Every structure is written in C-alpha cells, then in structure tokens.
C-alpha cells in the first residue's frame, strides 16, 4: 500500500499540473470563465438628481441577464452638446465592475462644485452609459429634476458601487 500511495500522489500532481498548463489562462487559477461584457440591451440605466442637491445626479444600472457580466469600472457620463465626460473620482486606471444576474450598481455624478461659478456651462441633459462602448441613455434636465438645465463645470463621477449609500459616501454626500 505504501508503494502505491507513493506512486499515486506524484501521478495525481502531474495530472493536475498538466490540466493547469493546458487550461486557458483566465481559467487556470479559478477554474471558471471570467464574465463577459454586458450587452447593452440587458441593462437598464436610471438617473435622477439627489433630493435637495441638483448638482448631484444618482445613477444606477441593473442587469437583466441570466449570467454575471461586466461593465466598465466607472460609468460614462456626457453632457449634451458639451465636449468631454465626467472624470472618475477617485482617479484610477481602467477596470471592470462585475454585475450579477439581476444585480444593480450605483454611482453618483457631481455636475458642478459651485452653482454660482461664473464659468458654469449649461446643457439640456446628460447621457449615461454603463460602459464606454455603449450608446447609453439620455435624460433631460426636467426628467433628472435639475430644473430647466444641468449646470456643468469640472464634473466628476464615482466608480460603480454596490449600494446607493456607498455611492453617496464616495461623492461626499454622507
């Protein structure tokens, strides 16, 4: 028995090593495929100004697919006809955020630091996309609840967060 055990253990280790070497690199460590990018048609994007603070827009994305997928770490938020997009806060490189089947992620966007800023720009609405490759969904200022226009100057957006409260904390609301 001792001799067989001594031979079986190295053979099992060798077989495992061969499987790990031949498995695709993304599956070698976990044994599972990484989630694919979320299809835009499987997502619902929502946006609404924070109650009492029209300079903050609360954003969410809900995944309606049957399997987990990923979106960009930070939503892409653009402002009507104005150039540029909200910058991520905190700063960070590109990355992904995993959405479980039926899962929702939250982010906050601060459109302007000081509404009295003389350099403030005005636009009729914003467009929010869960990933830069998506077209996104547009929201008018009236639908957002920011008044007739959205004031914009050096806008920032949080990374996707697991809860609305976490997004509020990340932007400094609570």
What CA–CA distance (Å, rounded) separates 169 from 128?
A: 20
Helical residues (DSSP H) of the chain, grouped into ranges: 2-22, 25-28, 141-144, 164-171
Residues in the chain: 174
What CA–CA distance (Å, rounded) separates 11 from 4?
A: 10
Task: Identify the pLDDT of residue 128.
Answer: 98
Dihedral over Cα of 156, 129, 142, 162: its sign: negative
Find out whether 75 and 129 touch, Cβ atoms under 8 Å.
yes
At residue 145, the 3 state secondary structure works out as coil
The helix or strand, by DSSP H or E, that contains position 157, with its residue range, turns out to be: strand 156-157
Task: Identify the pLDDT of residue 21.
Answer: 41
Task: Identify the pLDDT of residue 149.
Answer: 95
Task: Identify the pLDDT of residue 32.
Answer: 64
For residue 3, give Cα distances in angstroms to 7, 25, 32, 45, 139.
6, 35, 35, 63, 72
- Supply the mean pLDDT for the chain: 85
What CA–CA distance (Å, rounded) separates 129 from 162?
A: 17
Task: Identify the pLDDT of residue 28.
Answer: 44
First and final CA of the chain: distance in angstroms? 66
Find out whether 38 and 99 touch, Cβ atoms under 8 Å.
yes
Ranges of beta strands (E only) in 13-145 are 36-37, 43-50, 53-63, 69-72, 76-79, 87-88, 96-99, 104-110, 121-123, 125-129, 137-140
What is the number of other CB atoms lying within 10 angstroms of the CB of residue 135? 9
Q: Which segments of the chain have a pLDDT < 70?
A: 1-32, 93
């Amino acid at each position: 028995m001792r001799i067989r055990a001594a031979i079986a253990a190295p053979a099992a280790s060798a077989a495992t090593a061969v499987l790990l070497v031949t498995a695709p690199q993304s599956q070698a460590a976990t044994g599972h495929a990484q989630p694919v990018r979320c299809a835009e048609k499987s997502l619902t994007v929502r946006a609404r100004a924070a109650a009492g603070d029209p300079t903050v827009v609360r954003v969410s994305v809900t995944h309606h697919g049957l399997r987990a997928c990923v979106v960009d770490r930070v939503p892409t938020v653009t402002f009507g006809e104005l150039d540029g997009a909200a910058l991520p806060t905190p700063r960070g490189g590109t990355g992904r955020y995993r959405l479980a089947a039926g899962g929702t992620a939250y982010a906050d966007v601060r459109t302007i630091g000081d509404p009295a800023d003389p350099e403030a720009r005005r636009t009729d609405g914003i467009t929010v996309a869960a990933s830069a490759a998506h077209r996104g969904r547009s929201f008018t200022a009236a639908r957002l609840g920011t008044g007739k226009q959205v004031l914009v100057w050096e806008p920032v957006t949080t990374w996707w967060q697991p809860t609305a409260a976490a997004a509020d904390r990340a932007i400094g609301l609570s």
